[in-house]
Structure 1
Amino acid sequence: MSQSVNAKSVTRNVGWSVLSKTGTFGLKFVTVPILARLLTPEEFGGVAVALAVVQFLAMIGGAGLASALILEPREDEETIHSVFWANLALACLMAAGLYFWAEPLAGWFGAADAAYLLRLLCLLIPLQLAGDVAYALVARRMQFSRDALWSMISESVAAIAAVILALGGFGVWALVAQLFVAGIIRLAGLFFVSRYLPRLRFRTDSVVRLARFSLGLMGSEVANFVTFQSPMVVISRFLGLADAGAYSAANRFSSIPNQVVLSGVMGVLFPAFSAMVHDRQRRSQALMLSTQVTALLLAPMMFGLWALAEPAMLVLFGPQWAAAWPVLGLLALSKGLLTPCSTFIPYLKGSGHGGALFWWAVGRAVATTAAVAYGAHNGTLVEAMVALCLVNAVVLVGYSWVVFRADQTPFLSGFYRSIRPMLTAALMALMVRYALDHYLAGRFHPVLQVGLGIALGGLIYAALTLLTERPLLKKLADLVRRPKPVILADLP
């Protein structure tokens, strides 16, 4: 790494990453409901299924080589250029295969009408993988502050373009344009920030050496991808594109808090944990602090959305989506249950526990896919979401055991400390839900119900957090004020 890694440097870089995502939060908060009002569930479902296939192939095409670059002891130009051309060659092969096999793939996923979208979106594969090497250089140098502005610009311009096209009556092409505009601007930004320019150099032995290491990381990443994307595929296959569209719209909105916090946190924590691979004490301290902080930030958003899902769905998405409010609420609940696990993937990946990460990721992917498939095959979309919540509750306990065992942290104490913010948020959500059902629903317009619910939830959560997390809040304040690393071991 080009700079030393400590609690303050990690916090600073996480702050920049989160700031870039927070800058687009308000815009996405508006644009997702607008697009949902202007587009049909079938259009949402078609793009969502096609994008899931594209992202899966892009992940395989990259083969984890860029992630391996982050862990290299030094920046070797020939190795870097070799990885770029290997990525690009694999990306082009994947894109060509998807183009020619688009129709049978679309039919197998229960989305035969979306074959033309697969052919078009296959171009995203080389577009995404062309920037992997540049991002790896940014990550290993911990230069996330320089990347933050470009990330915010790409997402903002793409969202605005999508809304303009949707208002102009372009339908599904608004969603397609959003993906390509974001990808092109993001690629330009990565090359600008990293100062990387590809050159015609290729060394086979460097690619083979990195591939041997990266295959283990790729296996776990593929399994994690299946975990997150398999519900969309299963719902499309068993319940049709309309339900897939309802799931996609609710999932896109409920994922905004995760995109704001986790995309920034996880990108920084992987290189940070990698730098601490030989310092177990600092690594353990960073794990607990990052886990508590992400749960502290994310849990109230997700459980609060569960509490206010019914009026929020009507206000944000309109009457045509109002009946899908249980889907939004259950998705938020399922994500809320996993907020303490948000830092586990970068921890296992960066601390050298690739084997544990791989086998756990495979087991989780199988369990998630099976649970959602069972619910969808034997019931409705709501029952599939209930099954997702149940399997995520089991994942929370199992994943925590795997990580704390790898970290040599006593399970019960580590588990309690990590889920305490989540329990506080769950209590807050139950109180807000009770107030909504018994006092607010019959007296106020849905817009006021949402506003009052947010205000009430914020006050309750702030009071409960001051009662239960004062040592953590004090440590965070010290971390911001002090120029030197703080001692994290005495966190409760």
Structure 2
Amino acid sequence: MPPTVNAKSVTRNVGWSVLSKTSTFGLKFVTVPILARILTPESFGAVAVALTLVQFLAMIGGAGLASALVIQKDENLDTIHSVFWANLAISCLMAVVLYVGADPLAAWLGAPEAAGLLRIMSVLIPLQLGGDVAYALLARRMQFSKDAAWSMISELAGAGLAVILALLGAGVWALVAQLFISAIIRLAGLYAVSRYLPRFVFKPRRVLELSRFSLGMMGSEIANFITFQSPMVVISRFLGLADAGAYSAANRFASIPNQVVLSAVMGVLFPAFSNMMHDRQRRSDALMLSTQVTTVLLAPMMFGLWAIAEPAMLVLFGHQWAYAWPVLGLLALSKGVLTPCSTFIPYLKGVGHGGALFWWAVIRAVVTTAAVVYGAAGGTLVSAMIWLCIVNVAVLIGYSWVVFRADGMPFLRGLYLSTRPMVTAFLMALIVRYTLDMLRDHLTNPVLQIVVGSILGGIIYGLLVLLTERALKDKILELVRSRRAGEVTPLAE
């Protein structure tokens, strides 16, 4: 049986996951700008385009079987072994398909020069999928602390190697080496901490029993993947590798806050919501609490980055990337708009609304891709990003409707409570942006602009949150007091 989920266990596991992702954030905060200064936009674009296809095939190869293991009542070894071998066989097949079809696939992506990279990076597919079963076992046991250390070690090793190779003139291969060393170390670490040892046991019936859930999850994951990665393919085809590289560098940096908070929280919330599947009030309260907390944390980061995007791009990436500061700002804005949606995917997965998750993910993928195509067809990367922002506003409203309808919460009440911290953060960002514009003649140093904007934004946002989120503050303090007192408080009870 999965462990009992309560506020103490969830906050502990979220804490470990956030620690892991924060370490990754620190590394990328340093290494992405360093690599961007050494490498060309074309190098970033080539690896980003190739990695998009590799990750897509890896997602298909996994077929969602590992996710299905998370919600099983018991750890049946025959089922676990069967899923491992199924994943391995499918991932190897995908790698072969990518290797053989590298030339036409690279041409279709608008980057024929990336064919060689695709052949080499095809090996990443079995490396990535090989650890899915081990990670699923840790997730169902809520043992995220055991995964955190190896995540940090793998990211540190990959980032360090990439910087060294880039300084030695390795060019695009520095980025490729980073991906491989991180994947290999993480794979070894997952098996070490999960204590899972594959045995040659394969029972097709066990795999088929999981396929109904896994195929539905795979469909929604593919649609979500298309939503997040289709802009890269569209930009590469319509605007070329240089713009794809600019988008990739800006997107990698703008995504860091999401990777720190969302990746950590979503991994924990999926098994947590699954445990609450039949307790409507408890899961409803947990949904709103987790949504508000993640929005309070993420929204000021994203909107704050939008406010200081111009000096940040110059300071972090150098003069060769300075032209792309509107791209960084618009990407931060588009991600900031979606911060209230941060817990929606694990909620729908965990409580069994796979059908709603699938169809909404498909609609979102189609609309997002169409919007970016429309913007890129106009000839500029900035116009594509503007349309991405516009469509994300519609996604926020539609996604909220789907989730609150599934939860049984009144739509307008749920939308108001979940988006209030986001609106507060946007108001803060507008004040910071206006203030920096007014002081432009006096604050000519971009580093000083970042410092002043960050301090001013932190003070303004802190005051606004204290005024608008008193109930949330009281709830968090109550959970903290219960944790310190050693009470086992059910999550969001």
Common topology (TM > 0.5): yes
CA distance in 1, matches of 2:262, 2:450: 25
Shift of residue 15 of structure 1? 1.2
- Whichever residue aligns with residue 343 of structure 1, its letter is T
- Whichever residue aligns with residue 106 of structure 1, its letter is A
Shift of residue 486 of structure 1? 6.0
Instruction: Tell me the alpha carbon deviations over residues 129-153 of structure 1, each in whole angstroms, 9 at most, x when there is no partner.
Output: 1000000000000000111111111
Shift of residue 155 of structure 1? 1.0
Instruction: Tell me the alpha carbon deviations over residues 403-426 of structure 1, each in whole angstroms, 9 at most, x when there is no partner.
Output: 000000011111110001101100
**Which stretch has the larger CA shift, 473-482 or 188-197?**
473-482
| 1:93-112 mapped onto 2 (5 Å cutoff) | 93-112=93-112
Shift of residue 281 of structure 1? 0.8
Partner of 1:485: 489
1:265 aligns with 2:265: yes
CA distance in 1, matches of 2:369, 2:422: 25
Whether the 8 Å contact between 1:154 and 1:186 is mirrored in structure 2 is yes
CA distance in 1, matches of 2:6, 2:77: 27
Q: Secondary structure at the match of 1:202?
A: coil
What TM-score does the superposition give when structure 1 sets the normalisation length? 0.98
Shift of residue 471 of structure 1? 1.7
Partner of 2:176: 176
Q: Secondary structure at the match of 2:199?
A: coil
| 1:113-152 mapped onto 2 (5 Å cutoff) | 113-152=113-152
| 1:162-173 mapped onto 2 (5 Å cutoff) | 162-173=162-173
CA distance in 1, matches of 2:443, 2:97: 57
Partner of 2:398: 398
1:476 aligns with 2:480: no
Whether the 8 Å contact between 2:305 and 2:329 is mirrored in structure 1 is yes
| 1:279-318 mapped onto 2 (5 Å cutoff) | 279-318=279-318
1:387 aligns with 2:387: yes
Q: Secondary structure at the match of 2:424?
A: helix
Partner of 1:221: 221
Shift of residue 26 of structure 1? 1.8
Instruction: Tell me the alpha carbon deviations over residues 328-348 of structure 1, each in whole angstroms, 9 at most, x when there is no partner.
Output: 000000000000000000000
CA distance in 1, matches of 2:56, 2:437: 41
CA distance in 1, matches of 2:264, 2:491: 23
- Whichever residue aligns with residue 319 of structure 1, its letter is H
Partner of 2:28: 28
CA distance in 1, matches of 2:204, 2:456: 60
Q: 1:231 to 1:123 in 2, by over 3 A?
A: same
CA distance in 1, matches of 2:344, 2:2: 25
- Whichever residue aligns with residue 216 of structure 2, its letter is G
CA distance in 1, matches of 2:488, 2:273: 19
Aligned residues: 489
1:186 aligns with 2:190: no
1:419 aligns with 2:423: no
Q: 1:487 to 1:223 in 2, by over 3 A?
A: closer
Partner of 2:447: 447
Whether the 8 Å contact between 1:7 and 1:286 is mirrored in structure 2 is no
CA distance in 1, matches of 2:443, 2:366: 45
Q: Secondary structure at the match of 1:110?
A: coil
- Whichever residue aligns with residue 75 of structure 1, its letter is E
Shift of residue 487 of structure 1? 7.6
- Whichever residue aligns with residue 314 of structure 1, its letter is L
Whether the 8 Å contact between 1:302 and 1:336 is mirrored in structure 2 is yes
Partner of 2:153: 153
Q: Secondary structure at the match of 1:366?
A: helix
| Alignment RMSD | 1.0
CA distance in 2, matches of 1:277, 1:487: 13
Shift of residue 128 of structure 1? 0.5
CA distance in 2, matches of 1:318, 1:417: 40
Q: 1:25 to 1:487 in 2, by over 3 A?
A: closer
- Whichever residue aligns with residue 338 of structure 1, its letter is L
Segments of 5+ residues of structure 1 without an aligned counterpart are none
Instruction: Tell me the alpha carbon deviations over residues 1-50 of structure 1, each in whole angstroms, 9 at most, x when there is no partner.
Output: 44211222212111110111112222211110000000001100000000
Whether the 8 Å contact between 1:300 and 1:426 is mirrored in structure 2 is yes
Q: 1:277 to 1:99 in 2, by over 3 A?
A: same
Q: Secondary structure at the match of 1:220?
A: helix
CA distance in 2, matches of 1:146, 1:112: 41
Shift of residue 207 of structure 1? 0.8
CA distance in 1, matches of 2:148, 2:358: 30
Partner of 1:61: 61
Whether the 8 Å contact between 1:300 and 1:422 is mirrored in structure 2 is yes
Partner of 2:38: 38
Whether the 8 Å contact between 1:478 and 1:486 is mirrored in structure 2 is no
CA distance in 1, matches of 2:196, 2:491: 37
Instruction: Tell me the alpha carbon deviations over residues 152-203 of structure 1, each in whole angstroms, 9 at most, x when there is no partner.
Output: 1111111111111111111101100110111011111110111101111111
Q: Secondary structure at the match of 1:72?
A: coil
Q: Secondary structure at the match of 2:222?
A: helix
CA distance in 2, matches of 1:472, 1:447: 34
Instruction: Tell me the alpha carbon deviations over residues 370-415 of structure 1, each in whole angstroms, 9 at most, x when there is no partner.
Output: 0000100123000000000000000000000000000000111111
Q: Secondary structure at the match of 1:444?
A: coil
Runs of 4+ in 1 over 3 A off after TM superposition: 486-489
Instruction: Tell me the alpha carbon deviations over residues 193-241 of structure 1, each in whole angstroms, 9 at most, x when there is no partner.
Output: 1110111111110011111221111100000000000000000011010
Q: Secondary structure at the match of 1:210?
A: helix
Partner of 1:87: 87
| 1:360-375 mapped onto 2 (5 Å cutoff) | 360-375=360-375
Partner of 1:77: 77
CA distance in 1, matches of 2:118, 2:389: 30
- Whichever residue aligns with residue 485 of structure 1, its letter is T
Shift of residue 444 of structure 1? 3.3
Segments of 5+ residues of structure 2 without an aligned counterpart are none
CA distance in 1, matches of 2:319, 2:262: 31
Identity %: 74
Whether the 8 Å contact between 1:337 and 1:392 is mirrored in structure 2 is yes
Whether the 8 Å contact between 2:286 and 2:491 is mirrored in structure 1 is no
Q: 1:22 to 1:129 in 2, by over 3 A?
A: same
CA distance in 2, matches of 1:374, 1:257: 28
- Whichever residue aligns with residue 103 of structure 2, its letter is E
- Whichever residue aligns with residue 473 of structure 1, its letter is K
Whether the 8 Å contact between 2:2 and 2:74 is mirrored in structure 1 is no
